[in-house]
A and B are shown apart, each in its own frame.
Chain A
Amino acid sequence: MPPESRTELSRDLGLFTITMVGVGAMIGAGIFVLTGIAAGTAGPALILAFAANGVVTFLTALAYAELGSAIPEAGGGYLWVKQGLPGPNAFLAGWMSWFAHAVAGSLYALGFGSYLGLVLEELGWLPWGLSADHLEKPFAVAIALAFVAINFKGVSETGLAGNIVTMAKVAIIGVFIVTGLWAMVQEPAKWGNFTPFAPEGLGGVLAAMGLTYIAFEGYEIIVQAGEEVKDPKRNIPRAVFWSLAIVIPIYILVAVAAVGAVDPGDGTPTWQWLGNHQELGLAEAARQFMPLGTTLLLLGGLLSTMSALNATTFSSTRVSFAMGRDRNLPGLFAKIHAKTRTPYLALVASGGLIITMALTLPIEDVAAAADVMFLLLFLQVNVAIITIRKKYGDKLDYGFLVPFFPVLPIVAIVLMIGIAAFMFHFSPIAWYFVGGWISVGFVLYYTYARKREHEKRATPVVLRETLEREERFRVLLPVADPSRARALIKLASLVARRRGGEVTLLHVVQVPGQTPLRVGREWIQQARDEVLDRAEEMLEGTDTPFNIVVRVAHQPAEAILDEVIEQDIDLVVMGWRGHTRHPRTAIGSNIDHVLRHADCHVLVLKAADLEDIESILVPVSYPEQARLMLEVAGDLAAEHDATIDLYHAVAPGIGTEERREEIGELREGLEGMENLEALIGSGKVEIEVDETKNVVGGIVRRSRTYDLTMVGASREGWWHKLVAGTVPERVLRRSTGRLLLVKHRRSVVRSRVLDLIDFFR
């Protein structure tokens, strides 16, 4: 039977995680670094500036929600503009996006430099009479280089680590808000800090809006990660809206607390006092009313700036990579490092841009340059949504549709033009940089990119041969290294064949988080040639129907679980080498994850081969509990004409009569197990009842004399090393012979409880 071959991407981000990605990307240096500067510009009306920016951002978020649900692409806005707008606009969108994200990275690097300088100053660790100001830029360069290196290696914040950093930042900001408001409640006179509300008038509010707009960008990263989001048409737009609903009130309350709770002591208006402290305004304000205020704010600032710098290094690299792949930039930008599988040249170029801007301009001008560029970029997206609706309107599957279309996108465009234009008044040099960058972009487009725009680019490889789907037992066999897979293939085909089932060979092409999953398609042929062809040869001699699947994923375990769900897999067969590098896993990160989350049976084999099996040891407490284990043992025994010894441990001191009863109950439990009936009839199944307190020792000792020992996985987190370790885990650790771990499909209730426990770990 010809194999069915498929290539799939693995989705592993749920609504909560992807919302936190957006929140984490937004709550960065913007609020920590720019609040002081913006307060000095707008006065207490900073509150109004944040709220108004929230409105402008919400209007653009409507466009992102619609386009992100209909066209979820790793390039995000850049690709929508490419689809919606003609001529150089598409190129410019990518060119501007690259600059915008890189300059934002410069801002965060400088913010980090300032905060680290203040930390060292507070600790009295600054050498040679240097001040924090002297070290801002060197620290900025150092942290930018560090994150280039981290992204080069393909290391990124895992979903859980990213959530923890985001929650820490939000917690610190939360404490700032609560203690600030409490200080205002304690001293009602502080409410007078808000009058006059807008000392610099509407102009000050507009300037503060332009300056802090960058604090509201970040939610577009939700869309950039679209191909990895579960149920994207529902979760992408929801995450966009909810991330804003979380962030906008936080910013408003920060402004209230910062302006309202501070007492400069010398009659200076608080907003001016904050402005005088520039990017350290918030940290200095916290010193006045927050327990461990400066320490926590500095910690929050460092965490936020690092997290945001990582995110912007990541996103600016992806944009330049996408442009290189589309031939809008030289192909060098699309080169993937053979070993780390990251777009290393795009990364180096982005890092260079980040460092250059950080060294060239003061922080407020860097912020202004980034703000203007983001405003122009988002403006293009609002134009693109209008043209895309016109071009492809009823041909797309929308998860959300913008209301009052096209009025709201036009209102967004007008507001953004107004704010961007006003920023010239605030920072002319920022506009010179932006204008210069766009001009260079035009030159590049007409001299280079336009010629290559129409060149044929590689289309994703998709292999599909549709066979008629039959209802039968499905066994999934993930294959990474065919040289180690012979025993697994033998086991998988045996179990499938005896149940009239089929085997699916799955190979996962793993790519780092920095690299879009689509890039993994480049390795499909290599996967086919080096892995799956050889595995296929081994299977062809077994007369078992089989399929072939290649999935691309950041984590192999997620690809396995996706395949289990999508194809209604009944049993997964996996191999284990016998050790783990991960401190928090019993077997290995992938196997542990599959054992924990797979909604099917799982077999884990620790054996180089399955030859010459003459005797099988099966520790059993209750036959019904061990049913699957006994069925598989029966399969193996029938195939190899082997004997099965059931080992049953009891407490010491039981009498002969009780021992006989135990054996009788075990024999009764075996009745009805078809796989074993013939073996029992021919005397190939023996039962041993052992009086011992040391069950593990008993099993391990006996396993040395058997060709194969089977162990049943218990269902309650036996893989957690923090717990004492259950019998199966300890047997696995101590036994040196061939082992087969058997885990029964687990219940939905148990899985939800374990997921909840796991979330808070």
Chain B
Amino acid sequence: MSLDELRDQGILLPEEEWGEHSLEPTVARGPLLVVLLLAAVGLVAAFVGDGAWPTWVGVGLFLVCLYVATFLCDRAIEVQRERMSRRRR
């Protein structure tokens, strides 16, 4: 699909805004990395635990990490919208 076709469908930004908006993600990367690593630790603990308490600690840790990651991504969406509208002003 060409640039013209994307433009016709109203998907592209106006040309004067090309290159004006940052592609840096708005997700807090440090916390997200910690969360992803902890989630992996949780999965390993669940497997290694063989049904004993480390398994359940691992599963619990994984679920907590899931929600923290979701929250971080949700927050990032709001920040991204604010960034776009601030830039346009």
What residues make up the interface of A, taking CB atoms closer than 8 Å to B? 44-45, 47-48, 51-52, 54-55, 58, 62, 65, 69-71, 79, 82-83, 191-192, 194-198, 202, 205, 233-234, 237-238, 241-242, 244-245, 248-249, 252, 256, 389, 392-405, 459-460
Number of interface residues of B (CB under 8 A): 47
B43 adjacent to A195 (CB under 8 Å): no
A245 adjacent to B67 (CB under 8 Å): yes
Name which residue of chain B comes closest to A397, CB basis: B13
A394 / chain B contacts, CB cutoff of 8 Å? 18-21, 23
Bound Cα distance from A394 to B15, whole angstroms:
10
B47 adjacent to A238 (CB under 8 Å): no
B77 adjacent to A54 (CB under 8 Å): no
A397 adjacent to B84 (CB under 8 Å): yes
Residue picked from A196, A392, A405, most chain B C-beta under 10 Å: A392
Least Cβ–Cβ distance between B86 and chain A, in angstroms: 14
A196 adjacent to B51 (CB under 8 Å): yes
**A400-B77 contact given A83-B1, A197-B51, A392-B6, CB 8 Å threshold:** yes
B23 adjacent to A70 (CB under 8 Å): no
The contact sample of 11 A-B pairs, CB cut-off 8 A, is A47-B59, A51-B59, A58-B66, A65-B77, A69-B77, A79-B1, A197-B47, A197-B50, A241-B74, A394-B23, A399-B80
A244 / chain B contacts, CB cutoff of 8 Å? 70
Least Cβ–Cβ distance between A261 and chain B, in angstroms: 15
Chain A binding surface SS class: helix
A65 / chain B contacts, CB cutoff of 8 Å? 73, 77
Least Cβ–Cβ distance between B56 and chain A, in angstroms: 9
**A403-B25 contact given A234-B77, A237-B73, A238-B77, CB 8 Å threshold:** yes
What residues make up the interface of B, taking CB atoms closer than 8 Å to A? 1, 3, 5-6, 8-9, 11-13, 18-21, 23-27, 29, 32-33, 39-40, 42-43, 46-47, 49-52, 55, 59, 62-63, 66-67, 69-70, 73-74, 76-78, 80-81, 84
Bound Cα distance from A626 to B36, whole angstroms:
62
**A401-B52 contact given A51-B62, A234-B77, A395-B12, CB 8 Å threshold:** no
A401 adjacent to B46 (CB under 8 Å): no
A245 adjacent to B51 (CB under 8 Å): no
Number of A-B contacts (CB under 8 A): 127
A242 / chain B contacts, CB cutoff of 8 Å? 70, 74
B13 adjacent to A395 (CB under 8 Å): yes
Name which residue of chain A comes closest to B2, CB basis: A83
Bound Cα distance from A394 to B17, whole angstroms:
9
A51 / chain B contacts, CB cutoff of 8 Å? 42-43, 46, 59, 62
Least Cβ–Cβ distance between A570 and chain B, in angstroms: 28
A48 adjacent to B70 (CB under 8 Å): no
B81 adjacent to A399 (CB under 8 Å): yes
Bound Cα distance from A45 to B45, whole angstroms:
12
A393 adjacent to B23 (CB under 8 Å): yes
Q: A47-B46, A55-B43, A242-B74 are known contacts; what are 5 more A-B pairs with Cβ within 8 Å?
A: A47-B55, A69-B77, A195-B50, A238-B74, A401-B27
Pick the contact of B66 from A54, A70, A192 — CB < 8 Å?
A54
**A196-B12 contact given A82-B1, A245-B70, A400-B80, CB 8 Å threshold:** no
Least Cβ–Cβ distance between B53 and chain A, in angstroms: 10
Bound Cα distance from A69 to B39, whole angstroms:
26
Residue picked from A69, A233, A395, A460, most chain B C-beta under 10 Å: A395
Least Cβ–Cβ distance between B55 and chain A, in angstroms: 6
A393 / chain B contacts, CB cutoff of 8 Å? 23
B11 adjacent to A52 (CB under 8 Å): no
Least Cβ–Cβ distance between A194 and chain B, in angstroms: 3
A396 / chain B contacts, CB cutoff of 8 Å? 11-13
**A70-B11 contact given A197-B50, A234-B81, CB 8 Å threshold:** yes
B20 / chain A contacts, CB cutoff of 8 Å? 394
Least Cβ–Cβ distance between B15 and chain A, in angstroms: 8
A398 adjacent to B80 (CB under 8 Å): yes
Q: Which 7 A-B pairs have the closest CB atoms?
A: A194-B51, A195-B51, A401-B25, A245-B70, A197-B51, A403-B25, A403-B27
B66 / chain A contacts, CB cutoff of 8 Å? 54, 58, 245, 248-249
Name which residue of chain B comes closest to A66, CB basis: B25
Name which residue of chain B comes closest to A400, CB basis: B77
Name which residue of chain B comes closest to A55, CB basis: B39
Name which residue of chain A comes closest to B11, CB basis: A71
B12 adjacent to A241 (CB under 8 Å): no
Bound Cα distance from A44 to B56, whole angstroms:
12
B13 / chain A contacts, CB cutoff of 8 Å? 395-397
B39 / chain A contacts, CB cutoff of 8 Å? 55
Bound Cα distance from A244 to B63, whole angstroms:
12
Bound Cα distance from A242 to B63, whole angstroms:
13
B73 adjacent to A389 (CB under 8 Å): no
Bound Cα distance from A47 to B55, whole angstroms:
10
A404 / chain B contacts, CB cutoff of 8 Å? 29, 32-33
B78 / chain A contacts, CB cutoff of 8 Å? 234
A249 / chain B contacts, CB cutoff of 8 Å? 63, 66
B70 adjacent to A241 (CB under 8 Å): yes
**A48-B77 contact given A82-B1, A396-B11, A404-B29, CB 8 Å threshold:** no
Bound Cα distance from A327 to B78, whole angstroms:
38
Pick the contact of B3 from A82, A395, A397, A405 — CB < 8 Å?
A395
Name which residue of chain B comes closest to A233, CB basis: B81
B81 / chain A contacts, CB cutoff of 8 Å? 233-234, 399
